[in-house]
Amino acid sequence: MSNNKAPKSVTLHDVAREAGVSLITASRALGNPGMVSEKTIARVRKAVEATGYFPNLMAGGLKSRKSLMIAALVPNIAVAQFLPTVKALTDALDAAGYQLILGQTGYDHAREEALLNTMISRRPDGIVVTGLIHSQVSRDRLRRAGIPVVETWDLSDRPVDMAVGFSHVKVGSAVAGFFLNQGRRRVGIATGDDQRAAVRREGFIATVGHDVPTAVVPAPSSLELGRRALARLLEQDPKIEAIFCSSDQLAQGVMVEAQSRGLRMPEDLAICGFGDADFAAHMNPPLTTVQVDGAAIGAMAAKLLLDRCNGATIAEPVVDVGFRIVERGTT
Amino acid sequence: MSNNKAPKSVTLHDVAREAGVSLITASRALGNPGMVSEKTIARVRKAVEATGYFPNLMAGGLKSRKSLMIAALVPNIAVAQFLPTVKALTDALDAAGYQLILGQTGYDHAREEALLNTMISRRPDGIVVTGLIHSQVSRDRLRRAGIPVVETWDLSDRPVDMAVGFSHVKVGSAVAGFFLNQGRRRVGIATGDDQRAAVRREGFIATVGHDVPTAVVPAPSSLELGRRALARLLEQDPKIEAIFCSSDQLAQGVMVEAQSRGLRMPEDLAICGFGDADFAAHMNPPLTTVQVDGAAIGAMAAKLLLDRCNGATIAEPVVDVGFRIVERGTT
DNA sequence: CTGTTAGCGCCTTCAA
DNA sequence: TTGAAGGCGCTAACAG
């Protein structure tokens, strides 16, 4: 009688029998309809309905060596900054029948390496990381595994494989130049503690020509942390004239704190954010900020990966999407 | 000579040979160390290093019927609302060795059904959806497939399987009661066009006792859309006294527009948002809003799923996490 | 256009 | 504690 095994799931074998064709014909009818006659396809389709069959992508992927999955590593999904990228990526992949597996590195290099190992074990058809991959071991491993990789939000002379981003040094430099042009010399920085923000700071300082007051706050940045950052900067230089913030959230906090201290913007204090969050244009005064097209980064990363999956050779494996300073009321 | 095949990847077979043990012993040394002697484990570990072996979870999962993946369906990853949930979910799953596969339904029922089918084909060990699953076909399918499912951000008398959320009807009702208590009768609603917001609106109207002016905006809601929503509400009732917004982003826009029209809050106009975004407490005036613990929802969903994966029986398959109105300066 | 054969890489079952 | 055999569900490769 019926023993207590798990209710054996319907397989392609059952479908084939129901349709009165061989296993492989059923397989082709579903995955490669061009090779099968209309009539057979119809029979198989009907058999699928009748049996309630669902393909098993694990089994298929094992043989075909295609998982139809792309792994994405972000520092922290809750950082609004990367959302448009993840969204654009997911949208583009979905449209091509691929799904995204998500991993959070928490800005932690060891965690990143561990996560990368896990992801490799899943045999994704591609990997997207935010920022450059830090561990040399991981870099080598990925190259050897031959998995297409896109490093995003940053540029590198020697990416693991492909890269889509912009130069953070140039961003810092551009903002510093912008402040200096306005005649503001007493400048400072409120920044998150991540690698890319640190590089922007380096570019900023290089252009200013000397070190500047800096308040570093832990990720993820928030309005609250911005308020405290301004307090700390004013301790370092009570007459500070301009502040470059590593995110608009932080800038928002700096502005709130500045207003509560009676500082006028831009007269007493100029502020430049980073990211052009949707609220930036609607603040009072509207926030000057650095705009980066995060969605374009995600879309381009998806395109590179999908092209590669389709066997294309990528002519330009490193794509610079650039940035621009959007001048508004705070400068 | 070396033919042109893909560089055959290292398998457990190679590790076993290198270690001088059988295939299955190598397998156990890695996945079930309790069954193997210390010495053998060490030998296998060394062989793993030497060969550069990476397990193939697709192959392992095929036999063991465990994918160590959880599928998560959200309407739109860019909606800040669900971020804490996705983050808490990812964190909890990561810690248990599971990864998240992400899908975006775009608030579209057909898309949701298609995505669910795709996900089923991946044989995830669990599925988390935002909101209730709409398609009856999908509901039946999931039950039959026997995949653990958690429906979140909503509650249901008869969930597909498990549910973690709160009552949107009660939220609408509570906010309406709150406004009425303040003596405000000319009330209205600015809302996104999603299902849950619609239910909150129903609760609101039921308590008010009659239909109210309503401005519906498409997802995802934004500050910009909030501004337009207020304009539309003022056309419907120039003397409107209180507005319930379906998100804090929308509320923010309503406030900006109100200020630009010279309306004072809360004297001329009361506003209540939804979600308690991080900026809500820092607006001017601070925004009254409905607070829901999205992270708790994600954490609880992960717990239910992981418990189930570990064979536990869930005593309470429906968890109400509740909500509360946070009174601030706009009411 | 259809079918047969032979695995993909690993783990479960049974035996030693 | 270790091993041998068999198969998870599917699809390339090669016939017909």
Per CB-CB distance under 8 Å, the chain B contacts of A102 are 90, 99-102
D2 closest protein residue (CA to C1') = B25
* Domain edge (last residue) among A61, A79, A96: A61
Per CB-CB distance under 8 Å, the chain B contacts of A252 are 279, 282
Q: Do A142 and A34 sit in the same domain of this protein?
A: no
Q: Do A282 and A210 sit in the same domain of this protein?
A: yes
Give residue B92's pLDDT. 95
For residue range A102-131, list pLDDT tens digits in order. 999 998 899 999 999 999 999 999 999 999
Position A328 in a domain: no
For residue range A96-109, list pLDDT tens digits in order. 999 999 999 998 89
Query: Which span out of A54-63, B232-241, B304-313 was modeled with the highest average pLDDT?
Result: B232-241
Is pLDDT of A4 > 80? no
Position A236 in a domain: yes
A311/B contact by beta carbon, under 8 A: no
Q: Do A260 and A117 sit in the same domain of this protein?
A: no
Give residue B5's pLDDT. 35
Give residue B311's pLDDT. 83
What CATH number is attached to the domain comprising A51? 1.10.260.40
Which among A58, A140, A225, A248 is the top mutation candidate for probing chain B, defined by the most B β-carbons within 10 Å of its own β-carbon?
A58
Query: Which span out of B124-128, B130-134, B307-311 was modeled with the highest average pLDDT?
Result: B124-128
Give residue B259's pLDDT. 94
Q: What are phi and psi of A318, to 5 degrees?
A: -125, 115
Contacts of B212 (CB under 8 A, 6+ apart): B187, B188, B189, B204, B205
Q: What predicted TM-score, i.e. pTM, was given to this entire model?
A: 0.88
Ramachandran area for residue B121 (φ above 0: left; ψ -120 to 50: alpha; else beta) = alpha
Q: Do A26 and A75 sit in the same domain of this protein?
A: no
Is pLDDT of B268 > 60? yes
Q: Do A158 and A182 sit in the same domain of this protein?
A: no
Q: Do B154 and B244 sit in the same domain of this protein?
A: no
Average model confidence (pLDDT) for chain A? Answer: 92
Q: Do B161 and B199 sit in the same domain of this protein?
A: no
| Confidence tier at A247 by pLDDT (50, 70, 90) | very high
Position B299 in a domain: yes
Q: Do B92 and B231 sit in the same domain of this protein?
A: no
| Structure tokens that stand for A55 in this block | 């393909």
Position B25 in a domain: yes
Cα–Cα distance, A327 to A329 (Å, whole number) = 7
Residue B143, CB, strand C, below 7 Å = no
Position B1 in a domain: no
Mean pLDDT of B296-301: 97
Per CB-CB distance under 8 Å, the chain A contacts of B112 are none
What CATH number is attached to the domain comprising B262? 3.40.50.2300
CB contact under 8 A, B224 and A76: no
Position A194 in a domain: yes
Mean pLDDT of B232-256: 96
| Structure tokens that stand for B188 in this block | 């209205």
Average model confidence (pLDDT) for chain B? Answer: 92
A30/B contact by beta carbon, under 8 A: no
The three-point CA angle A64-A116-A124 to 5° equals 20
Strand C bases with any atom < 7 A from protein Cβ: 1-5, 7-13
Inter-chain contacts counted by CB atoms under 8 A, chains A and B:
130
CA-wise closest residue to A148 among A321, A301, A325, A316 = A301
Position B7 in a domain: no
Mean pLDDT of B231-255: 97
Give residue B151's pLDDT. 97
* Number of compact structural domains in chain A: 3
CB contact under 8 A, A117 and B54: yes
Q: Is A203 helix (H, G, I), strand (E, B) or coil?
A: helix
| Confidence tier at A8 by pLDDT (50, 70, 90) | low
Which residues 202-231 of B are in CB contact (within 8 Å) with A? Answer: 222-224, 227
Contact (CB, 8 A) for B310 and B125: no
**Per-residue 3-state assignment (H helix, E strand, C coil) for B160-199:** CCEEEECCHHHHHHHHHHHHHHCCCCCEEEEEECCHHHHH
Which residues 132-191 of A are in CB contact (within 8 Å) with B? Answer: 141, 144-146
Query: Any long-range contacts for A305-310 (C-beta under 8 Å, 24+ apart)?
Result: A305/A70, A305/A93, A305/A125, A305/A126, A305/A128, A305/A148, A305/A150, A306/A92, A306/A93, A306/A96, A306/A98, A308/A126, A308/A148, A308/A162, A309/A66, A309/A98, A309/A125, A309/A126, A309/A148
A120/B contact by beta carbon, under 8 A: yes
Q: Do B107 and B188 sit in the same domain of this protein?
A: no
Is pLDDT of B33 > 90? no
Q: Do B158 and B304 sit in the same domain of this protein?
A: yes
Position A40 in a domain: yes
A105/B contact by beta carbon, under 8 A: no
Mean pLDDT of B107-115: 92
Contact (CB, 8 A) for B19 and B47: yes
Which among B79, B94, B116 is the top mutation candidate for probing chain A, defined by the most A β-carbons within 10 Å of its own β-carbon?
B94
Per-residue burial over A288-317, b if 16 or more Cβ lie within 10 Å, else e, is: bbbbbbbbbbbbbbbbbbbebbeeeebeee
Beta strand A99-104 with A126-130 is unpaired
Q: Is B104 helix (H, G, I), strand (E, B) or coil?
A: strand
Q: Do A252 and A176 sit in the same domain of this protein?
A: yes
For residue range B52-91, list pLDDT tens digits in order. 999 999 998 888 888 999 999 999 998 888 999 999 999 9
When mean pLDDT is compared across B62-66, B119-123, B155-159, the lowest value belongs to B62-66
Residue A134 to chain B, least CA–CA distance (Å) = 20
**Per-residue 3-state assignment (H helix, E strand, C coil) for A41-85:** HHHHHHHHHHHCCCCCHHHHHHHHCCCCEEEEEECCCCCHHHHHH
Match 């597909």 to its residue by tokens: B160
Q: Do B176 and B262 sit in the same domain of this protein?
A: yes
B288: containing domain: 168-292
Give residue B4's pLDDT. 33
| pLDDT > 70 in chain B, percent | 98
Residue B205 to chain A, least CA–CA distance (Å) = 30
Residue A23, CB, strand C, below 7 Å = yes
Mean pLDDT of B223-249: 96
Residue A229 to chain B, least CA–CA distance (Å) = 15
C4 C1' to B18 CA distance, Å: 35
| Confidence tier at A9 by pLDDT (50, 70, 90) | confident
When mean pLDDT is compared across A272-276, B115-119, B156-160, B297-301, the lowest value belongs to B156-160
CA closest to B294 among chain A residues:
A78
